[in-house]
Structure 1
């Protein structure tokens, strides 16, 4: 038996899988609030108690770089070690992998009903694929063909410098530089970054904020769900929230296009993480909300393809939204492959 885990800044999702049943058949599954625990080991011990788990190994994906079997998580104050976790949990083996590395492991195995098409394009066989995953943070990864199968490659591209593409985004960058100094893409297009965009828009037009919504945000520990809900409601009443989501989606498109060009992802681009499935209408051309100019929201593909001489190439790149927890599936696939048959 193997414990597979997706360790996020908000939640830790653990599952039990076996070589006989395969990575998709979860024999047990539990979700725990990450911030309520001092580290990963206490959560795993709780999972073992809750489920009566008898496992011999574990594979965990984490939000942060994994180097020499150790990881310091980006959005949690945890430092993890494969060796220490194996000893503390009494397991033969523990593997740590970057969360985007795990998603990349899962992408070649996704079924048709586990994605939604944003741009059908034309898939080139055995061509590189790219992954952009906005969740609590922003993850990026890619896959290259290795001769018999795809090789998953992790990155920390979400922390690269934010590059504005229009005057509105230039003004956003100036606002963010005053607040943070260095401005990475994660600051403006992850779940943790959406409130930053909202604050920028409110600073530009304070009178546009709805009083009731301002009071709701003041009470919230995490403002992102409220802004996301108001920005995707379809009514367009909350102009600041609608425009915050619009800007976020446009930045997703621009950076996804950048990533596609960098790795020549003619095999497809996949939007994973917790946020894209929640804004599907805004990602598709002819979305349900309207921006400040009255145009229907289709800004993702406009920004994705707005690359000058390479616009035609990018129009033919397939774009999909992953609608399952691909990180957990990838951790299960990778962990089962590493199990000692003996």
Structure 2
């Protein structure tokens, strides 16, 4: 008889749930729920478990929030909870909560070549660290490295690092951004809302009134080639996506590869290939030569967070906690 554990990947907009076969790690019964439809994470979890009619005693949750002393306060959604209290509320024997990009990092070794699209660079340098980052509702970041043949994941909140203009022609856009937003950080530009922020700042810098206020619409028009303002917006976004990735690569010498996750990059993959992404990635002055050979990959797998949460539950939690 198959024994299942619950795995979940909770972002600022959607909550993804699935069952993980504890024997082989297979993920099944995937469902995506809108976070706004539920007052709490516990409510969303009970709704999912009611739909699968399966007795669950163990769970691993990947969540887009820092985890401090067992307390989770999600920055992009009103959900808040404490791990111990949630464990009791859901009547679980074991509950593990990890950062969402930590989960994606654990999925990295399990991805197939067909799950990746390369954006320049050469071959990965074996034994070197990797960095995984990506825009969605927010901007997630994690690093991986190997110590004594053990795969190590280092979660990070670097998506909140401050950012600014690099060239003079970007100053008009940033002047408007600083008027709109008090603290301009990575996810101010590199996120779904970031696309809107860039669009508004770009149009205002051109002394015109913004028309669109949703990232999906701006992206749609850019991909269709029917609005030059939207094309310029998405290209600016791609440039900063690359620039931020280059900064991350330099921060830990991630010559093993840079991986882009999240829901946005796969949807704009063809635009991304032709954009200023790689130019932004390598635009590091005297350090540019270090970045030219570094390969960058877009993760096209639909649910790497669920895959990684299952891996953590089956492999890491057993080693660390004996569960």
TM-score when normalising by structure 2: 0.93
Q: Give unpaired runs (5+ residues) of structure 2.
A: none
Q: Report the equivalent of 1:230.
A: 221
Q: Report the equivalent of 2:235.
A: 246
Contact 1:208 1:239 in 2 (8 A): no
Q: Report the equivalent of 1:294.
A: none
Shift in Å at residue 20 of structure 1? 1.6
Q: Report the equivalent of 1:71.
A: 72
Q: Report the equivalent of 2:171.
A: 170
Q: Report the equivalent of 1:113.
A: 114
CA distance in 2, matches of 1:246, 1:318: 20
Q: Report the equivalent of 1:20.
A: 23
Q: Deviations over 1:57-110 (max 9, x none)?
A: 111111110122221111111112211111011111111111111111111222
Q: Which of 6, 10, 13 pairs up with 1:7?
A: 10
CA distance in 2, matches of 1:170, 1:142: 31
Shift in Å at residue 149 of structure 1? 2.5
Higher mean Cα deviation, 257-266 or 178-187?
Answer: 178-187
Q: Give unpaired runs (5+ residues) of structure 1.
A: 288-296
CA distance in 1, matches of 2:156, 2:262: 15
Q: Deviations over 1:126-156 (max 9, x none)?
A: 1100112111111111111121222111111
Q: Report the equivalent of 1:291.
A: none
The answer to whether structure 1 residue 335 and structure 2 residue 298 are counterparts is no
* 3-state DSSP of counterpart to 1:265: coil
Q: Which of 264, 272, 275 pairs up with 2:264?
A: 275
CA distance in 2, matches of 1:5, 1:244: 33
Contact 1:12 1:34 in 2 (8 A): yes
Contact 1:100 1:327 in 2 (8 A): yes
* 3-state DSSP of counterpart to 1:59: strand
Q: Report the equivalent of 1:83.
A: 84
CA distance in 1, matches of 2:82, 2:173: 38
CA distance in 2, matches of 1:226, 1:58: 36
Q: Report the equivalent of 1:59.
A: 60
Q: Report the equivalent of 2:249.
A: 260
The answer to whether structure 1 residue 314 and structure 2 residue 291 are counterparts is yes
* 3-state DSSP of counterpart to 1:122: coil
Count how many residue pairs are aligned between Structure 1 and Structure 2: 316
CA distance in 2, matches of 1:228, 1:259: 25
Contact 2:121 2:292 in 1 (8 A): no
CA distance in 1, matches of 2:171, 2:261: 27
Shift in Å at residue 225 of structure 1? 0.7
CA distance in 2, matches of 1:305, 1:42: 45
Q: Deviations over 1:263-296 (max 9, x none)?
A: 1000000011111111112221xx2xxxxxxxxx
CA distance in 2, matches of 1:135, 1:246: 17
CA distance in 2, matches of 1:91, 1:39: 17
TM-score when normalising by structure 1: 0.88
Contact 1:69 1:95 in 2 (8 A): no
* 3-state DSSP of counterpart to 2:268: helix
**Equivalent residues in 2 for 1:125-164, closer than 5 Å:** 125-164=126-165
The answer to whether structure 1 residue 300 and structure 2 residue 300 are counterparts is no
Extract structure 1 runs of 4+ deviating beyond 6 A: none
CA distance in 2, matches of 1:169, 1:94: 46
